[in-house]
Amino acid sequence: MGARPRVHVCFPPPGGVREEILAMPWDATLAEVSDTPRSQVLSDVRGCDAVITRLTDRVDAELLDAAGPGLRVVANYAVGFDNVDLDAVRERGVTVTNTPGILDGATADLSLALILAAARRVVEGDRFVRAGKPWRWSPTFFVGLDLSAGATLGIVGLGRIGLAVARRALAFDMRVIATPTRSHAEQAADLGIELMELDDLLRASDVVSLHCPLDASTHHLIGARELGLIGPHGILVNTSRGPVVDETALVDALTSGRLGAAGLDVFEHEPKVSPGLLELENVVLVPHIGSAADTTRTAMARLAFRNVAAVLDGRPPLTPVPLG
């Protein structure tokens, strides 16, 4: 018999996945904390056949070389894979997998929560009450955007998560529009979603929700010009990736009144947040918790584990990332 495959998990797996991994015929090591320093990660992956990474782990030439020539698969514990240098893994013949289809509902739920919170000024109102300020009901007190009175939601990136958000918004009687899509055009038509180019969508939307992947074409996709198209009464929600939005331009637009409000789950320089955002009342901020639902996070970890098991067993991975 050959040596047992060496597998390292870069985070503490949730639920019963830890026990499932340790029960496999592998030499498995699991990080005990989620904020392991980079130097320790590079040490932990040495000699590995497989590594299960988080979206905060840079899977680059440095990590791949630290693992060594025996590395066969990197299973990314996320649906996005902008943390992976695809050229580097392709050159080394390493398989990469992700976790699509599992976190759609959880992320869509949070997207709608941010839309509702920003539109109805929920967090602003919570801070107001907690501060003990005097108040009395009046017709104009804390008035926000009435979503069910014909408000338009513009979805940028009508993939699985974007469609899940669309279905939720339609239940609130919102009009839904989206940027063009090849893979989900039929579903968009079935739901009555009108497809239009980005500039037209931004002008037509009361709320814009971002669900596009981060790559060279979407970096700073939403900048000062685009925020101006949304307008002073519009709301921007981002649960995709922080660098899709020019955060400096966003702070300026929110501060100057050129944009009405924002709801953000992701930030351009995570975990750092632009100080300007922290000072604003018209923005809702949460710490990248789009998939942070117990069942979802466990299912993501289990899929990553099963992808590793498949590759080490000589079978095709369940959810490979296309490397071109």
Which residues does the annotation mark as catalytic? 241, 270, 288
Nearest to 154 by CA among 113, 96, 111, 101: 111
Nearest to 58 by CA among 34, 80, 84, 40: 84
CA distance 153 to 150: 10
Task: Write phi, then psi, for 59 (nearest 5 degrees).
Answer: -95, 90
Q: Where are the beta strands (DSSP E) in the chain?
A: 6-9, 27-30, 50-53, 73-76, 95-97, 152-156, 175-178, 194-195, 207-210, 235-238, 261-264, 283-285
The packing angle between helices 104-119 and 160-171, to 10°, is 50
Nearest to 11 by CA among 63, 43, 69, 53: 53
Q: Which residues contact 288 (CB under 8 A, 6 or more apart)?
A: 265, 266, 267, 270
Distance between start and end Cα atoms, the chain: 35
Nearest to 284 by CA among 147, 110, 146, 166: 110
Task: Write phi, then psi, for 29 (nearest 5 degrees).
Answer: -125, 145
**How is residue 284 annotated by DSSP?**
E
Nearest to 262 by CA among 126, 141, 115: 115
The packing angle between helices 104-119 and 122-130, to 10°, is 60
